[in-house]
Amino acid sequence: MTEDFRIEHDSMGEMRVPATALWGAQTQRSYENFRIGTETQPEGIIRAFALLKKAAAQANAELGSLDAATAALIADACDEVYAGAWDAEFPLKVWQTGSGTQSNMNVNEVVATRANQLAAERGVTLPKPIHPNDSVNCSQSSNDTFPTAMHVAAVVAVHDQLLPAARQLVATLQRLERENEGVVKSGRTHLQDAVPISFSQEISGWRGLVETGIEMVEASLPPLCRLALGGTAVGTGLNAPEGFDTLVASKLADLTGLPFVTDPNKFHALTSKDALVFGHGAVKALAANMMKIANDVRWLASGPRLGLGEIRIPENEPGSSIMPGKVNPTQCEAVTMVAVQVMGNDAAIGFAASQGNFELNVFMPVIAYNYLQSVRLLADAIRSFDEHCACGIVADRDRMRHNLHDSLMLVTCLNPYIGYENAAKVAHKAYEEGTSLREACVGLGFLTPERFDEVFKPEEMV
């Protein structure tokens, strides 16, 4: 009978590893020792590792630390990992060593094994077999590769996922502004009637919430573009050739098209996670703004008969298993739940980042997991909200007009003519007696009917 495992070894001895697995002994040890939860290292981290291992191999070849053939094979294996060809080979949990050492070694082992396979397939003769530590991890340490992978993954996720989704929503809101020019409705403050506002002005507020969020997220990227790679174990750069840090950062910039540079202070880069705290704070700010937009939309769409009902939103699915015909603002609810998750993640990231001891922070996997989850969820939620809700918002102009003219706060336009206190008397009289502002004002003798009609123009109050 064919054995379903093979024997691999590391510095601690031998391990049984699944026969077809590309990983080695160190990955297997972690797989067996950390059976905690179901959360595995995020795809973004694995992709970022593939990029940095490729860049490191190329830099090592240029600096004379690796032979060209070995570096080329490592780069090709990294390309396969980056393309997702070997996703099943990265089974390790988030809840492992806080430095991410086992995940760094998981990548090293998979890339080394695959690179050796490529060498055999191509008939390439190497000076010696490609080794996970000596070759793939050459000039590196888990302590500088994992924080580098975190930064690369964070910047790529924001650039490729979050910002495009947010900009798409901005474009939708700009269209809605144009379509609703001149539509005047009642404003609201403290959930109470307020003076008029145009619907396009209200939408412009939503647009500003998204645009400001974009600005904040963009402002958080430069610190995240500074990389720890080259600091090795404690920031001194031990066992890395001179110039490795700047060269590998330059290569990562070329591979991604993003402005990565080496962090000038590796001691800070290894122990501090402030760039991720700052970056996630901007993500949280956008999430908070999306919470506000989603709440506004579902309030304005409430009803259909007993709520505000000033806008109609797309009806996407039945809203109740017992009440026929009920439709709910489900996209808004999804956005608000994602916003809550992002806020919770922000607390976890802040606590984890505060726990750096001496030369290293050992809460990195949980920081990476939460940051990337927030970016992915928020990007998905914004895109879904845009495509299934915002793009189909339609103003109920008749309802807006009715609510506008029924608002007691229109009395504010009388302040210049009868004064604040008299205007307040008019509002109270109209409310208590269930009459119009016109009847109350004329009844109190503050203005004649003709003068009231001359100065009372709600549509001009915006």
Measured in whole angstroms, the distance separating CA 64 from the mean position of its chain's CA atoms is 39
* CA pair distance 159, 156, nearest whole angstrom: 5
For 341, the token pair is 């998750």
What local confidence, expressed as pLDDT, does residue 196 receive? 97
Query: What positions carry a catalytic annotation?
Result: 190, 320
Q: Answer whether the bond into residue 241 is a cis peptide, omega within 30°.
A: no
In a 13 Å sphere around the CA of 339, the CA atoms on its Cβ side amount to: 19
By three-state DSSP, how is residue 226 classified?
Answer: strand
Residue with tokens 């003798």: 445
Q: In sequence order, what are the residues at sequence separation of 6 or more whose Cβ sits closer than 8 angstroms to the Cβ of residue 214?
A: 163, 166, 167, 170, 286
Length of the chain: 462
Tell me, what's the pLDDT at 403?
95
Determine the 3-state secondary structure of 261 from DSSP: strand
Owner of token pair 């806008």: 311
Of 375, 205, 151, residue with least CA distance to 284: 375
Find the helix packing angle between 199-219 and 274-300, rounded to 10°. Answer: 170
User: What is the C-alpha to C-alpha distance for residues 163 and 419, in angstroms, rounded to an integer?
Assistant: 49
| Residue 401: strand, helix, or coil | helix
pLDDT of residue 1: 34
Q: What distance in Å separates the CA atoms of residue 214 and residue 168, rounded to the nearest whole number?
A: 11
| CA atoms of 217 and 285, how far apart (whole Å) | 9
- In this structure, the strands spanning 261-262 and 311-312 are unpaired
CB 228 within 8 A of CB 147: yes
Q: What CA–CA distance (Å, rounded) separates 394 from 301?
A: 10
Instruction: Report the 10 Å Cβ neighbour count for 49.
Output: 29
What pLDDT, on the 0 to 100 scale, is given for residue 157? Answer: 98
Chain centre distance of CA 295: 19
- Please give the helix or strand (H or E) that residue 193 lies within, else none: strand 192-198
Contact 225/260 with Cβ under 8 angstroms?
yes
Per-residue pLDDT tens, the chain, 462 aa: give them: 356 999 999 999 999 999 999 999 999 999 999 999 999 999 999 999 999 999 999 999 999 999 999 999 999 999 999 999 999 999 999 999 999 999 999 999 999 999 999 999 999 999 999 999 999 999 999 999 999 999 999 999 999 999 999 999 999 999 999 999 999 999 999 999 999 999 999 999 999 999 999 999 999 999 999 999 999 999 999 999 999 999 999 999 999 999 999 999 999 999 999 999 999 999 999 999 999 999 999 999 999 999 999 999 999 999 999 999 999 999 999 999 999 999 999 999 999 999 989 999 999 999 999 999 999 999 999 999 999 999 999 999 999 999 999 999 999 999 999 999 999 999 999 999 999 999 999 999 999 999 999 999 999 999
In the chain, the amino acid numbered 281 is G
Question: Cβ atoms within 10 A of the Cβ of 449, count?
Answer: 11
